[in-house]
Structure 1
Amino acid sequence: MNTDRRKKWISENHFLHVLNYCMLLPGPEAQQVDTYLTWLLHKTKGESVAGILFISPGFH
């Protein structure tokens, strides 16, 4: 895993790998990529918050 912990970034290659994998799964790629990357950088608590915030505008 090529992450820059100081900036909390992942490499472009890792991002493209994640994006390609999420494109194979059913559902919106943006939410899947967002949830995975947040989990990767902030674990379960961050993933839960990101998932809720990503879908909450749809309930307005």
Structure 2
Amino acid sequence: VRKNLPLDELLIGELLDFSALTCPNLAKTWFRFADWAYAWGRQLLARSIPLSSIDIGQQVRAILPP
């Protein structure tokens, strides 16, 4: 995963992780860390799912009986 993130975003993630570990009772740090992780997780998954998977689903439905 680290090689798929830009260096500046990776550093932001490391800082957010460090802030959450430094101040575990501060909800704002956990919220920002979770928000950052969720946003990048969505982007990485969107990049990894090929667009042809939609075509494969249509091909499978065409083969199956109604």
TM bucket (normalised to shorter chain) is 0.3 to 0.5
Q: Which structure has greater strand proportion? A: 1
Higher relative contact order by CA 8 Å / sep ≥ 6: 1 or 2? Answer: 2
Q: TM-score, normalised by structure 1?
A: 0.34
Higher helix share: 2
- The higher radius of gyration belongs to 2
TM-score (norm: length of structure 2) = 0.32
